[in-house]
Structure 1
Amino acid sequence: MKLHRQLLTAAVAAALFVPAAHAEVAIDVIGGSEITFEGLVQADGNWFDNDVADLNGGDAANGKDSEFELRRAELVLKGKGPGNVEWVVGYDAKADKFLDTNIKYKLGGNSSHFIQLGQYKQPNSLEELSSTKNNDFISKAAVTNTYAVARRLGGAWGYGQDNWSVTASAFGRELTRNLAHGSGYGARGTFAPINEKGQVLHFGLSYVAYDTDADTLRVRARPNADLATVRLIDSGNMVDTDNVTTLGVEAMYIGGPFKAQGEYYSSKAKRMANDNYTSDGFYVSGLWNITGETWGYKGGVPGTGLPDNPASGMWQLGARYDHMDLNDGNLSANPVAGRPPIVDGVLGGKMDIWTVGVNYYWRSNTKFALNYVMVDSQKYSSSVRGFVNDDPNILEARLQFFW
């Protein structure tokens, strides 16, 4: 913990010397490599209006209905050169884990044609691949957090032009010990039939397959609150799972200051002693830049620009609807009187979530975000021998500093 505080203090001190118009610190040119330093610090607060479950843990009568936490403290070194080589080493001092840590070689000097080795985000989610500091909402969609394979060690090849891209990857475990395991592969293709400044129409398709760690899989989701310790929907441990395959479909439209996007995931777990388990979910969202700014687009992902007027900043309003279904089974009456119903398959529950939010970007380094989350969930409970509805509401706030 002491090392984490020292790293974070040094990072913030360095960032204070960054000119307001820049988002990175130039270090030096060493061995033909232009080295820069970037960082991201996020502090979150969640206030829970609990319904049935105590979302922040412990006794439901403990009187504690809020959580405050340093969410991220990301420190990143990047290098360009020598030649067509680019590299990055990232570390999150809060989570004590490595971030993107890889080397990329641009074939023919083309940034859209590359090979990549190391740890990087796998090519299977529009929201996951977008920059964390510019997420539309404080928490990523429940389906993204559940189904998207994030950073893993591996090798990737990518190629594309301004309006299309193809990326293929083979991967193994996460770089940091005792985190995600399971070797696999994935691919993502994107196509933008409209790609002009301030107007983009994007479509994407992805597929990922990987082995489960120790033949065990558990699919569950928080109610779009990163500080919640309880998952309202949960498949439970499936200890006979061999592998998982996930198909993702994505679409996005940018029209001036408006952006709409959505993703659908269908995931299938191959089980050895039971029927295969299938779950799915989707989200759709809309964002409006009140101050008139638009988004960029490169490599199949959107990019949020800086405020047109740094002194007054950039305001955004957004809304999102999430749906997840972790049920893949049936419930039938027990022929023996007085005994609980018979569950055939997995009844992990269903969850629908509305999120409304406002973001404020000030100058080039600061962001404030406020979200209100409304949850409608239902899950089978063996203790009550029936389905239980749990419909909490959550207020979320974030202060973010980046460079």
Structure 2
Amino acid sequence: MNLTVYTVLAGMFVVLLASPIRADETTGSPLAVLFQGAPKYKDANGNWLKLRGRVYYDVVALKETPVGRGQTQINANEFRAARLGVQGRYGKFAYVGELDFAGNKTSFKNVNIAWKGPVTIRAGQMKTTNSMEEQTSSRNTSFLERGMITDAFGLDRRLGVSIAKTGNNYGLAAGVFGNSINGKQDNTPGNTVLSARGSFAPINEKTKILHFGASVRYTDRAALAPKRSARWGAHLAGEKINPQIGGEALLYGLEAATVFGAFHAQAEYMREDGNLGFAEGGFVQVGYFFSGETRKYKAGAGKFDRTKPLRPLSAGGFGGWEVVARYDRLDARRSGDQQADAWTLGLTWYPQSHLRVKLNYTDASGDKFQADGLQMRLQVDW
């Protein structure tokens, strides 16, 4: 990432901090300007346009000990994400386009257009329709990194077409996908993907949620497609779990989540079977806002949304405070590699609705390694 990009991102971060963190609408004009992390322009007909983006800056101190070898220490930092984009709506059409400059490369993330009627039809680059954890934006996940299954099974963005039907307490979605718009740069296997997901919330109240979901995915991988891998809970870790599923593969997943006031919990299980073997895994996590917030949920999408602090710094408060814990497992013993287990404890501070500071400690062990590490993230989005 060059100096110009650093300067632009730093400038946006300063603007965000200096701006009032509330939605103020201008008066006396047919064009309303709201502030929701960044200016949002909206006309009297409901059409709107806004800049979007996010910056995650991570600092880590990790230790890894492969079986039969000496310990390695990793003290490093990185921009885990540095995205800029635009999104909006015009009539029944919604659109989004976003670039990520992290990792010394430029890649497309969400780039799609959707028609919103009785159903939503979307075309372009988007996530396949699998997993509550994957559908929940990284802006709103509980930990620095998602559970190991999301990387191990290649839950990612691809070019495709999807259709979705949502209601007050349910969501149904399906799609057909090809390769990523970024090609080999994303290390995305060249293949065809068919996926479907359904979710249902029998309890869907402001402070009480009960969610169930299931998804399935069929993948026809190219013979020489790059292999998938998962790290043990730290993006800068060196040790990986490398399941080799094979060409044609069928994945299915189950998910459940609940919210009860300041408490929330989530669990997922996935298994993928292919001609070379199978892998399975999942996680269970819990969290509690001891500052009194309730984790926000979107029933139609079957995912978690932005949690806003009850007493932000801008209102003279101390922000929101959350403690989280997770047990995470990935078993690739029957697909050419190892089993790994990871325990993570975390503390998250929400000074404002678009700012977070995360601290995670992870202790992990596999058939081929032992590891642990402390990670901290400064996160801002708009």
Q: TM-score, normalised by structure 2?
A: 0.87
SS at structure 2 position matched to 1:167: strand
2:373 partner amino acid:
I
Match of 1:340 in 2: none
Q: Note the 1:3-402 alignment, pairs <5 A.
A: 4-5=5-6, 7-9=8-10, 11-12=12-13, 15-16=16-17, 18-21=19-22, 22-26=35-39, 28=41, 33-52=47-66, 64-81=73-90, 83-95=91-103, 96-108=106-118, 113-178=119-184, 179=186, 180=188, 181-216=190-225, 218-231=227-240, 233-235=241-243, 241-270=246-275, 276-298=276-298, 299-311=301-313, 312-328=318-334, 346-379=335-368, 390-402=369-381
Which structure is larger by alpha-carbon Rg, 1 or 2?
A: 1
Tell me how far 1:13 sits from its aligned partner.
5.4
Asked whether the 8 Å contact 2:74–2:237 carries over to 1, the reply is no
Q: Residues 53 and 27 from structure 1, CA distance in 2 versus in 1: closer, same or farther, beyond 3 angstroms? A: farther
SS at structure 2 position matched to 1:117: strand
Aligned counterparts of 2:195 and 2:8: Cα–Cα separation in 1: 34
Tell me how far 1:29 sits from its aligned partner.
6.2
Asked whether the 8 Å contact 1:37–1:76 carries over to 2, the reply is yes
SS at structure 2 position matched to 1:143: helix
Aligned counterparts of 2:81 and 2:319: Cα–Cα separation in 1: 23
Tell me how far 1:142 sits from its aligned partner.
0.8
Match of 1:335 in 2: none
**Which shows bigger deviation, 287-296 or 32-41?**
32-41
SS at structure 2 position matched to 1:214: coil
Q: Residues 60 and 399 from structure 1, CA distance in 2 versus in 1: closer, same or farther, beyond 3 angstroms? A: farther
**Which shows bigger deviation, 277-286 or 140-149?**
140-149
Aligned counterparts of 1:364 and 1:204: Cα–Cα separation in 2: 28
Structure 1 residues without counterparts, runs of 5 or longer: 271-275, 329-345, 380-389
Tell me how far 1:14 sits from its aligned partner.
5.0
Q: Residues 323 and 5 from structure 1, CA distance in 2 versus in 1: closer, same or farther, beyond 3 angstroms? A: same
Structure 2 residues without counterparts, runs of 5 or longer: 23-34
Asked whether the 8 Å contact 2:127–2:135 carries over to 1, the reply is yes
SS at structure 2 position matched to 1:291: coil
The one-character-per-residue Cα deviations of 1:296-334 (angstroms, maximum 9, x if unpaired) are: 222211223210111210000010001111011xxxxxx
Q: Residues 163 and 49 from structure 1, CA distance in 2 versus in 1: closer, same or farther, beyond 3 angstroms? A: same
Aligned counterparts of 1:170 and 1:369: Cα–Cα separation in 2: 35
Tell me how far 1:36 sits from its aligned partner.
0.3
Asked whether the 8 Å contact 1:375–1:393 carries over to 2, the reply is yes
Aligned counterparts of 1:304 and 1:14: Cα–Cα separation in 2: 21
Q: TM-score, normalised by structure 1?
A: 0.83
SS at structure 2 position matched to 1:144: helix
Tell me how far 1:251 sits from its aligned partner.
0.4
2:302 partner amino acid:
G
Aligned counterparts of 1:304 and 1:20: Cα–Cα separation in 2: 14
Aligned counterparts of 1:47 and 1:188: Cα–Cα separation in 2: 37
Tell me how far 1:376 sits from its aligned partner.
1.7
Aligned counterparts of 2:371 and 2:65: Cα–Cα separation in 1: 5
